[in-house]
Amino acid sequence: MVRRNPNMAKLPTAYLFREISRRKKIFMEKNPTVKVISLGIGDTTEPLPPHVMKGLVDGARKLGTRQGFLGYGDEPGFSELREKIAQKMYGGKVDAEEIFVSDGAKPDIGRFQILFGNNVSVAVQDPAYPVYVDSSVIMGQTGGYDNSARRFDNLVYMPCTPENDFFPDLEHTPRTDLIFFCSPNNPTGAVATRDQLRRLVDFARNNNSIIIFDAAYREFISDPELPKTIFEIEGAREVAIELNSFSKLVGFTGVRLGWSIVPNQLKYDDGSSVKHDWNRVVTTIFNGASNVVQYGGLAALDDEGMKEMERLVSYYVENARIIKEALGIIGLKTYGGSNSPYIWVKFEGETSWDAFSRILQQTCIVTTPGSGFGMSAEGYIRFSAFGHRSDIEEAVRRFDKLLPSKN
Ligand code: PLP
């Protein structure tokens, strides 16, 4: 028999969304006639837009011809797609050679963990997208917990709450090798301002740390004052990697396409190139994103595809506005929900799971308990704007049934 990787035993028993599905299933078995609406998981619901769809179909057809057939391609992706991402998403601020096309931001997080190995310290926002912590735990980044420093040996939690405007108190954050940072943030919906990102970049520069900046929700930003990429910040090229994804932009959560940017200037302490090693990881354990899907990505970045992307994102932005407004009307204080698909709500005097159960019982709406995203999120609930408009409208009508907690 093979010995189990001991790090696996340190993970929470179930991935958050699996536990939510389990509870939803039990509720539905007990209440078979009610329609349960999900404002829980951050998965897109609307069909692929026609131009993007055509890109995928035409791409697949091309592969069925002698001239168009492609086998293994360049692992970092079609050069035309890398060029188009550089131009359309970054206005030429990054070089196509610094872009690595992938099958999504989540698998890239796993591969970055492999790149940096198990001998690095890691800081994460608290709360945060669970994959940063869980992938770090799988790598072995845990140990004894020091409550005063909110630190599990190699894992540092940076509380992000309304009290600090959802931005970490960097003066009291210990140095780590890596800093995962997500804006617009999942789950809080907070978007870092230019000044905040400047402070983060300065912090990383002073500490010789590397920021892994997750911009998966960047297209939800409509406020021109808010940065869409870390590379809008001076000095970021020496200290930051950016992760991105087509998932929430054009509904590719199942199709799978993303990219990472590793700037030429990013170096290790011995002066060697991080991009060089990233290329080595990508070519060694990843054979590149599907060529059919890359044709879809090319179509998404055509002028017509960009318009479709804008329309699709606006649809979810409007959903977020409807949910946020309705929660405000029943007297709840909300955060996020503009420039972001997530609305973050504090339920005073209740744990997140208690609030989750009460909302499910009283309104038949599935939400996401904040505590699943980190210690600082106890008592919060995340509402997601990904849903059909008719379901969102039905859900907000049901908010009236939400009775105050008995506490
Ligand atoms: N990053 C964040 C912050 C997310 O919320 C998600 C998905 O919900 C991902 C990355 C995963 O993106 P992908 O579908 O490209 O793997």
The pLDDT confidence band at residue 24, using thresholds 50, 70 and 90, is very high
Cα 188 to ligand 1 centre (Å):
14
Residue 105 CB–ligand 1 contact under 6 Å: yes
Instruction: Let me know if 265 is exposed, middle or buried by CB neighbors in 10 A (0-12, 13-18, 19+).
Output: middle
Nearest CA to ligand 1 atom 2: 216
What pTM, to 2 d.p., does this model score?
A: 0.96
Which token pair is 403?
Answer: 């009775």
183 pLDDT exceeds 80? yes
How large a percentage of the chain has pLDDT more than 90? 90
Which residue lies with its CA nearest to atom 5 of ligand 1? Answer: 186
Number of residues written out for the chain: 407
Tell me the CA–centroid distance for residue 129 and ligand 1, in Å: 8
Rounded to an integer, the average pLDDT of 207-219 is 98
- The mean pLDDT of 282-311, rounded to a whole number, is 97
Rounded Cα distance, 105 and 94, in Å: 18
pLDDT for res 139: 93
257 touches 52 (CB < 8 A):
no
Q: Does residue 405 carry a pLDDT above 90?
A: no
Give me the pLDDT at residue 404, please. Answer: 67
**pLDDT tens-digit series, residues 241-290:** 999 999 999 999 999 999 999 999 999 999 999 999 999 999 999 999 99
CA distances (Å), 127 to each of 50, 156, 335, 372, 379, in order?
36, 12, 14, 8, 12
Q: Taking CA 154 as the corner, what is the angle to CA 150 and CA 160, rounded to the nearest 5 degrees? A: 40
* Residue 150 confidence class, pLDDT cut points 50, 70, 90: low
In ligand 1, which atom is closest to the CA atom of 107?
Answer: 16
Which H, E and C letters describe the chain, residue by residue? CCCCCHHHHHCCCCCHHHHHHHHHHHHHHHCCCCCCEECCCCCCCCCCCHHHHHHHHHHHHHHCCCCCCCCCCCCCCCHHHHHHHHHHHHCCCCCHHHEEEECCHHHHHHHHHHHHCCCCCEEEEECCCHHHHHHHHHHCCCCCEEHHHCEECCEEEEECCHHHCCCCCHHHCCCCCEEEEECCCCCCCCCCCHHHHHHHHHHHHHHCCEEEEECCCHHHCCCCCCCCCHHHCCCHHHCEEEEEECHHHHCCCCCCCEEEECCCCCECCCCCEHHHHHHHHHHHHCCCCCHHHHHHHHHHCCHHHHHHHHHHHHHHHHHHHHHHHHHHHCCCCEEECCCCCEEEEECCCCCHHHHHHHHHHHHCEECEEHHHHCHHHCCEEEEECCCCHHHHHHHHHHHHHCCCCCC
pLDDT band for 16, please (50, 70, 90 cuts).
confident
Which residue among 16, 103, 129 is best mutated to probe the pocket of ligand 1, counting the most ligand atoms within 8 A of its Cβ?
129
Give pLDDT, residue 66.
97
pLDDT over 90 (residue 19): no
pLDDT at residue 315 is higher than 80: yes
CA–centroid distance, residue 59 to ligand 1 (Å): 25
Query: What is the reported pLDDT for 143?
Result: 63
Strand partners, 182: 214
CA dist., res. 99 & res. 108, Å (int): 12
Of 40-49, 215-224, 267-276, the poorest mean pLDDT is in 40-49
pLDDT tens-digit map of 62-82: 999 999 999 998 999 999 999
Q: Which domains does the chain have, with CATH numbers?
A: 6-47+305-401 (3.90.1150.10), 51-302 (3.40.640.10)
* pLDDT of res. 141: 87
Q: Is 42 in the pocket of ligand 1 (CB under 6 A)?
A: yes
pLDDT grade for 403, boundaries at 50, 70 and 90: confident
- With a cut of 70, say whether residue 296 has pLDDT above it: yes
pLDDT-based confidence at residue 108 (cuts at 50, 70, 90): very high
Q: Is a pLDDT exceeding 70 seen at residue 148?
A: no
Work out the mean pLDDT of the chain and round it to a whole number. Answer: 94
Instruction: State the pLDDT at residue 41.
Output: 81
Radius of gyration of the chain (CA): 21
Q: Tell me which residue has its CA closest to atom 15 in ligand 1.
A: 104
pLDDT at 371 over 80: yes
Atom of ligand 1 nearest to the CA of 258: 15
Give distance in angstroms: CA of 267 to centre of ligand 1: 26
Asked whether 182 lines ligand 1 (CB < 6 A), one says: yes
Residue 327 has pLDDT above 90, yes or no: yes
